[in-house]
Amino acid sequence: MKRLSLGTDQSALLALKAHITSEQHEFLSKNWSSTAAASSVCDWIGVQCSSRHQRVTALNISNMGLTGTIPPDLGNLSFLVSLDLRNNSFHGNLPEELSHLRRLRFILFSNNRFTGEIPMWFGHFPELRFLFLDNNGFSGFIPSSISNSSKVETLTLRGNFLEGNIPEKMGNLSVLKDLSLSGNYLVGQIPLSLCKFSELQSLDLSSTRFSGHIPKEIGNLEKLTYLSLMNNNFTGNAFALPSKIGNLEKLTYLSLMTNNFTGVIPREIGKLHGLKVLVLGRNNLTGTIPREMGNLQNLQRLDLEWNQITGSIPREIGNLTMLTELYFTNNSLIGKYVFKVPFFGEVNRNRLTKHLHPFDFFFNL
């Protein structure tokens, strides 16, 4: 078995430097020296070593304006815990040798130009906590093997070209707190396994091609603070879980905009006291605006535009003193409106008296 050392780490880093074809700020060319002693590697820009083993444990070359590919040699950094390549122009496929880095906890590859399929070996990192592959050119399916890295807390794959369904096995990520799959070509329904993420705080499935109904079990995600399902093909009653929606009392952001949802807004929406943003526009919602919505004292944005909502605007909406954006355009609202607070928004194309034109604001009692 090959004996690895700090000299091995130096060779791996110099191989990476050799694969850089363009360097906007010349940080590496000026600082990573091929003639320096191996002991100086720990002083190189972006490099961090452990005092105990004198091996490279962290590599952070984010935001350096680098263009190039990742060499297989990088897989020799066997003590590496954190690998941060964010906000550069790395491209090509990821070499399989990276799977040797079994100590990795942080893989941060956001905002590059990597391509190819997400490798199956992303399930080979027993200590992995954070996996950021967003805003690249990855294609193919989400590998079910990711579920083997059971300590992952944040998984963000948004802004790629991924297709297919969400793997059922992803429900094995029992400590997952943040999941973002937005801006891909994923299809199918939300699997029930996603509703097992008891620690989940943020779920972003927006701007994909999901369809079907929202499973009522999503109401079990009691730690959820952010939920975005906007710009999909979801159908059915948006609030088929009225008895459970009150469980999501930690929600601060809820967007179901631009789907094909039907049904009425339930009174239980008033239990979500932490909501700051509620976006339900561009669906087929019916019924009236529940007066319980006036209980959302922290609400800053309320968007119900382009639905089939009828009746009058409840006076209780005037209690939303934090409200700065209000959108009721293209419904069938009637009656008079009374607002106590400044706001920015549209309530036109209804049958309200005292018609409010777009962008008119600062109406006080």
Q: Which domain holds residue 340?
A: 213-365
As a whole number of angstroms, the distance between CA 220 and CA 194 comes to 10
**Tokens 């009828």 identify what position?**
310
As a whole number of angstroms, the distance between CA 150 and CA 159 comes to 23
Give the number of domains in the chain. 1
Q: What is the DSSP letter of 327?
A: E
Q: What residues contact 222, with CB distance under 8 A and at least 6 apart? A: 198, 247, 248, 249, 250
The phi-psi region of residue 272 (left if phi > 0; otherwise alpha if psi is between -120 and 50; otherwise beta) is beta
Nearest of 342, 340, 344 to residue 365 by alpha carbon: 340
As a whole number of angstroms, the distance between CA 150 and CA 357 comes to 53
pLDDT in tens, the chain (365 residues): 355 789 999 999 999 999 999 999 999 999 998 776 767 899 999 999 998 889 999 999 999 999 999 999 999 999 999 999 999 999 999 999 999 999 999 999 999 999 999 999 999 999 999 999 999 999 999 999 999 999 999 999 999 999 999 999 998 999 999 999 999 999 999 999 999 899 999 999 999 999 999 988 998 999 999 999 999 999 988 777 656 777 899 999 999 999 999 999 999 999 999 999 999 999 999 999 999 999 999 999 999 999 999 999 999 998 999 999 999 999 999 987 656 555 556 655 555 544 443 333 333 22
Does residue 84 sit within a domain?
no
Q: Domain with 257 in it: what CATH number?
A: 3.80.10.10
**What is the identity of the amino acid at 179?**
L
Does residue 238 sit within a domain?
yes
pLDDT of residue 348: 59
Does residue 51 sit within a domain?
no
Does residue 7 sit within a domain?
no
Does residue 267 sit within a domain?
yes
As a whole number of angstroms, the distance between CA 92 and CA 333 comes to 54
Does residue 306 sit within a domain?
yes
Does residue 336 sit within a domain?
yes
String of DSSP letters for 51-96 = TTT-SEEEEE-TTS-EEE---GGGGG-TT--EEE--SSEEEEPPPG
Q: How many Å is the Cα radius of gyration of the chain?
A: 25
Phi then psi for residue 138, to 5 deg, are: -65, 145
Given a contact cutoff of 8 angstroms between Cβ atoms, the answer to whether 160 and 185 are in contact is no
Does residue 58 sit within a domain?
no
